């Protein structure tokens, strides 16, 4: 009886954790069909590793105070924006930000990573090199809004 309860508890825990991970089209399967940039714009990718650490912490991501997506384990999304200065932010018990300048036709990569907090975990946002980001993006699932080709 005790083994059955433990097995059930383990299966339930795995199911709950797996439900928190991103699911959907993989970057490698959709990259060739992504729309091209419009004149004067750049692209910003937000991505998060598929780690179970902090999986339950999935705050909204804001760009210059506008919500653009959610930090989900194993997921990525992107937004196209005019060239300019930007602040990306996430909030749980504290706000974490990353400031950067986006040039025309430039692509920026922002990694969102869970970390320990006092009461609740938090998600840190950091600029990532194109080389490291591209190596990881291929296995991540798209969590953004599907948009038609421009």
pLDDT at 98: 94
Burial code (b: 16+ CB inside 10 Å, e: under 16) for 29-57 equals eeeeeeeebeeebbbbbbbbeeeeebbeb
CA-CA distance, 55 to 127, in Å (whole number)?
21
Whether residue 63 has pLDDT greater than 90: yes
Name the fold adopted by 22-142.
Immunoglobulin-like (2.60.40)
pLDDT at 26: 86
Counting residues of the chain whose pLDDT is more than 70, the rounded percentage is 74
Whether residue 64 has pLDDT greater than 80: yes
Model confidence, pTM:
0.78
DSSP, res 34? S
pLDDT in tens, 99-122: 999 999 999 999 998 776 666 677
Would you kindly state where each structural domain of the chain is located, as residue ranges? 22-142
Residues 6+ apart with CB under 8 A from 24: 75, 141, 142, 143
């Amino acid at each position: 009886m005790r083994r059955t309860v433990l097995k059930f508890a383990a299966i339930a825990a795995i199911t709950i954790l797996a439900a928190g991970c991103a699911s959907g089209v993989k970057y490698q399967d959709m990259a060739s069909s992504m729309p091209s940039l419009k004149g004067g714009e750049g692209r910003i990718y937000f991505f998060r590793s598929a780690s179970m650490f902090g999986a339950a912490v999935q705050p909204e991501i804001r760009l210059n105070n506008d919500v653009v997506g959610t930090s989900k384990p194993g997921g990525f999304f992107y937004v196209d924006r005019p060239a300019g200065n930007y602040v990306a932010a996430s909030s749980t018990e504290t706000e974490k930000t990353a400031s950067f300048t986006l040039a025309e036709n430039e692509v920026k990569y922002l990694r969102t990573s869970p970390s320990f907090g006092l009461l609740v975990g938090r998600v840190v946002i950091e600029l990532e090199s194109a080389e490291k980001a591209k190596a990881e993006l291929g296995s991540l699932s798209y969590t953004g809004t599907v948009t038609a080709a421009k």
